[in-house]
Amino acid sequence: MTIPDRTAQLQTLRDSLRPGQRRLADWRGGPLAVSAVPGSGKSTGMAAGAAIAIANFQLHARKQLVLVTFTRSAAANLKVKVRQHLKDLKLPYNSFLVQTLHGLALNIATHNPEVSGINLDTTTLVSPNQGNRLIRTAVEAWIHDQPELYHRLVEGQSFDGEETERLRRQSVLRTEVLPALAYTAIHEAKSSGLRPTDLSGIGQQGPPNIYQLLEVAAGLYEQYRLLLSQRGLIDYDDMILAALKALDDPDICRRWQTQIFAVFEDEAQDSSPLQTRLLEKLAASPLSHPDGEEESPLMAAGVRGENLVRVGDPNQAINSTFTPADPVFFNQFCDANRPHHLATIAQAGRSSQKIMDAANYLLQWVNQQFPSQEPPFRAQAILPVPPNDPQPNANPAPLGQGVELIKPADITASVKHIGQRVRDLMDEWKQAQDNAPSGERLQPPTLAVLVRENRQGRFLREILEAPDRLGFDFAETTGLKIYDVGSRDRNTQVPLEMLRLLQFIERPHSPDYLKSALRVLVDRQRIPTQDLNPLATNPEQFLYPGPLDPPLTTESALSARHYCNSLLRARFNLPPYHLIPFLGTTLSYNQSELATADKLAARIAQQTSEDSTLSTMIGALQEIVSAERFDAIEAEDAEAQYTRPGQLTIITMHKAKGLDWDVVFLPFLHAKLIPGESWIPPQTEFLGPASLPDVARAQIRAYVHGNTVIPDISNAWHRANDLKKAEEFRLLYVAMTRAKRLLWMSAAKQAPFAWSNPDNLQEGEPCPVLPVLGRFMREQGAGRF
Ligand SMILES: Nc1ncnc2c1ncn2[C@@H]1O[C@H](COP(=O)(O)OP(=O)(O)OP(=O)(O)O)[C@@H](O)[C@H]1O
């Protein structure tokens, strides 16, 4: 291709972008922050910007552009787009790499095993189940090592020395509070580059508290670290740490910096401090050049510093209260690069105007509710694109009223409303199809229900699949399948649930096994939610009470005993290979879960054909669970499966991030979940009115954010709750902005007290934004809330 040809093509590619996206096309080195609204085409802009940079800087296999995304499926999508541009421009494909952040870190670490300490022959990445077991072992080791600190926790706020209560508290601490504290504090600290001694230091710097919370966290972290290294295991944070360690070596660092010309990062609002540090380091220009290497075009042009382009949307940060991700760092990057190296993409073509109005209203209203502190949202409104926008059918015409707000009588009525609305929409589409000029095919609308938690999805699906409860046959009338994404996730739980129940059946006198089995029964809604610790502390007494033992006083506890006894009887009445199908029925598995259980039973029977005792079965099952290889890992085209026409997708709001549908239903929007209320489980009340893992997280973050004062327990708990509320509102914003043509929202008058028991209804307060949004939309001519 001649140079003028390519110049013209690059110009055409640039012209195909929106003004905000063009900042990516016009990038000529140095840092650039791009803060973009939902649906604005971040990845479209990034792919075009990458191809243009590759052309401008003549990149090749030894001087590449690295694009970093968070999920493998996002990486696959981006790769396809960049390759297409390079093909059109006749540029080499090896001039770029698309990787997830962890993939990139692993690549660097394993290329330099002598410095990073990571060698794929001798180290293994810890699986989530293995990680959980290690944390439990670390807790036991810490209790053994630190009896005084442990005793202080058992004493709690006050204690009268009663033995049953002591046992109950020990069970709560060993199996709930300390594992959660370890998990949270270790990830939070590690992903910020802090060591156990640093945690102790922060604890000493902060106000004293009776539990010496961060000292406890530091001890747990140290035990976990020891266990990992004894077993030759690493976790995800170790990968990044190892990559950074390798880059501390000046020669290795120069090699990578020379190899990597620039880094483009997507979803930058979800980065942890350590991840940010890794990208900054890689994106820095090499200090000097190895002999024979020509000066980079950038250096020749006098540009120095980091070639780092970070694209994200702080308003879609929805992982910061349960992972170490924090939008603060991306916001800081944006502010540091203001005004010359900060671009905003405010125009978006995804949704119709009313949906954008509703999302913008939510953002503004929520920020007004949090006047005294950091606002939950960056003040950034979503604007429509101009009429000549390159996106076909941008800002599409609304379906129905565009935004519909409904207040059904109860949650069953909410599902019926959804069923009927879907039926009407499909009828309208069929009618339009019939009336269309012959040969023209109208696409059916894509449809999804977004839920806050999987139990709501299960409830929805059960009604939609029961014609007598719904009032009509959903599948037959609408021609749609129901694709419940959570049920596939529940399927992957089957091996672990079987393991827990079989371990209990084999050793019913172990308090831990009894408690795990009871938890499975609660999760599967076989028995009511309750404090399981008093039941599990003395298994003998719970399972086979003597005449002098105090009787169980609640229906819930009696039902728990009944289930456990029937599980134990099965051991004597059934041959081992029949146990798994029996347990599946006991847990009331649906058809596909039962099929998974059968497949599992067949696999185990095959593996244990020589010796089919209960203990060999458990061994085989344990291996399957540890390796987590029973169910196929998420396919790269999973996202395309979620948004196919011809189905009603039921998916959580978290998983829906990055996707969109023509019609989005958001039922069950109650204040209890969005924004939620500060709540601690009754069984941990003896520790005081705060959740210790959340407190530890808030204290560590205060330090990492550079605050000079570490908050005390009460202030840290307050802060944790405010952040949680802010994040719930952002989650609602993400959910609303998934809709292209119709956004349907509802909060029923009667809602469950807890979704573990959807039959127990009470008056349900709607999410506070709904009534005001209803008023606003009515003024705009839509909505009925
Ligand atoms: N310049 C453009 N020309 C044509 N189509 C575009 C352009 N920019 C974006 N689009 C289209 O807009 C849609 C939304 O883009 P995309 O999904 O990348 O948005 P996003 O910013 O990543 O959204 P979110 O943050 O909400 O997930 C896509 O269908 C994309 O093809």
Per residue in 445-482, pLDDT (tens digit) is 999 999 999 999 999 999 999 999 999 999 999 999 99
Query: 349 alpha carbon to ligand 1 midpoint, in Å?
Result: 7
E strand or H helix that includes residue 234: strand 233-234
Q: Which atom of ligand 1 is nearest to the CA of 316?
A: 25
Expressed in angstroms and rounded, the spacing between residue 311 Cα and the centre of ligand 1 is: 13
Which 8-state DSSP code applies to residue 230?
Answer: H
616 and 649 housed in the same domain? no
Give the whole-angstrom CA distance, residue 368 versus residue 754: 29
pLDDT of 299 reads 46
Q: Alpha helices, DSSP H only, in 263-410?
A: 273-283, 297-300, 327-336, 353-369
* Domain co-membership, 198 together with 283: no
- Other beta carbons within 10 angstroms of residue 650's beta carbon come to 24
Ligand 1 centroid distance, CA of 206 (Å)? 46
Q: Which residues contact 587 (CB under 8 A, 6 or more apart)?
A: 497, 520, 521, 524, 526, 593
**Residue 229, domain extent:** 124-238
Could you tell me the distance, in angstroms and rounded to a whole number, from the CA of residue 634 to the centre of ligand 1? 24
Task: Indicate whether 377 belongs to any domain.
Answer: no
Substitution candidate for ligand 1 out of 350, 385, 662 with most atoms within 8 A of CB: 350
Q: Within its chain, how far is the Cα of 4 from the centroid?
A: 47
Residue bearing tokens 């880094």:
263
Ligand 1 centroid – CA 479 distance (Å): 29
Ramachandran class of 291: left when φ > 0, alpha when ψ lies in -120 to 50, beta otherwise: beta
Return the ligand 1 atom nearest residue 349 CA.
Answer: 12
Distance of alpha carbon 528 from its chain centroid, rounded? 27
- pLDDT band at residue 739 under the 50/70/90 scheme: very high
Residue 36 marked as a ligand binder: yes
Q: How far apart are CA 331 and CA 336, in angstroms?
A: 8
Whether residue 497 sits in one domain with residue 598: yes
For 727-747, give one letter per residue: b (16+ CB within 10 A) or e. bbbbbbbbbbbbbbbbbbbbb
Query: Domain check: are 58 and 73 in the same one?
Result: yes
Point out the domain boundary residue: 305, 326, 349.
349
- pLDDT of 756 reads 80
| Residue 312 CB less than 6 A away from ligand 1 | no
Same domain as 676, residue 609: no
For the Cβ of 44 lying below 6 angstroms from any atom of ligand 1, the answer is: yes
Nearest residue (by CA) to ligand 1, atom 18, is 41
Contact 625, 496 (CB under 8 A): yes
Q: Which atom of ligand 1 is nearest to the CA of 658?
A: 27
Are 735 and 692 in the same domain? Answer: yes
Choose among 312, 378, 392: nearest CA to 350. 392
- CA quadruple 718, 719, 723, 729: dihedral sign: positive
Indicate whether 450 and 527 sit together in one domain: no
Confidence band of 4 (pLDDT split at 50, 70, 90): low
User: 773 C-alpha to center of ligand 1: Å?
Assistant: 26
**Ligand 1 touching residue 39 (CB < 6 A):** yes
CATH number for 466: 3.40.50.300
Please state, in angstroms and rounded to a whole number, the distance separating the CA atoms of residues 489 and 491: 5
- Nearest CA, atom 10, ligand 1: 41
What's the pLDDT tens digit per position in 255-283? 999 999 999 999 999 888 889 899 999 99
Report how far residue 609's alpha carbon sits from residue 621's, in angstroms, rounded to the nearest whole number.
14
Domain count, the chain: 4
Same-domain status, 110 and 7? yes
Measure 187 CA to ligand 1 centroid, in angstroms.
33
**Is 63:259 a contact under the CB 8 Å cutoff?**
yes
Angstrom distance (rounded) from CA 302 to CA 765? 60
- β-bridge partners, 129: none
Of the candidates 561, 563, 566, 557, the residue with the CA atom closest to the CA atom of residue 528 = 557
Ligand 1 atom nearest the C-alpha of 40 is 21
191 annotated among ligand-binding-site residues: no
Note whether residue 248 is domain-resident: yes
Q: Ligand 1 center to residue 43 CA distance, Å?
A: 7
| 727 pLDDT tier (thresholds 50, 70, 90) | very high
Q: Is residue 379 part of a domain?
A: no
Q: What is the pLDDT of residue 291?
A: 46
What atom in ligand 1 is closest to the CA of residue 389? 3
Does the pLDDT at position 182 exceed 70? yes
User: Rounded to the nearest whole angstrom, what is the distance from the C-alpha of residue 161 to the centroid of ligand 1?
Assistant: 62
702 lies in the same domain as 728: yes
Mean local confidence (pLDDT), 561-568: 94
User: Going along 437-546, which residue ranges are E strands?
Assistant: 447-451, 481-484
What tens digit of pLDDT does each residue of 338-390 get? 888 999 999 999 999 999 999 999 999 999 988 767 789 999 999 999 988 88
Mean pLDDT of 660-671: 97
Residues in contact with 164: Cβ distance below 8 Å, sequence separation at least 6, in sequence order: 534, 537
Q: How far is CA 70 from CA 96, 104, 110, 653, in A?
A: 17, 11, 20, 17
Nearest 5 degrees, angle CA 651-CA 656-CA 657?
Answer: 160
Q: How confident is the model over 108-165, as pLDDT tens digits?
A: 999 999 898 888 777 888 888 888 899 999 999 999 999 999 999 999 999 998 999 9
Q: Please state the atom number of ligand 1 nearest to the C-alpha of residue 43.
A: 18
User: Is 143 found in the same domain as 282?
Assistant: no
The pTM of this model reads: 0.89
Q: List the structure tokens of 118.
A: 């990571």
Helix spans in 507-554 (H) = 511-523, 533-537, 539-543
Residue at 284 is within a domain: yes
Largest CA distance in the chain: 95
For residue 658 and ligand 1, the question of a CB distance below 6 A is answered with: yes
pLDDT at 742: 98
Q: Is residue 586 included in any domain, yes or no? A: yes
Q: What's the rounded mean pLDDT across residues 98-116?
A: 91
Residue 305 known to bind ligand? no
Contacts of residue 203, defined as CB under 8 A and 6 or more positions apart, other chains included, come to 212, 213, 214, 215, 217, 218, 699
Ligand 1 atom having least distance to the Cα of 345: 21
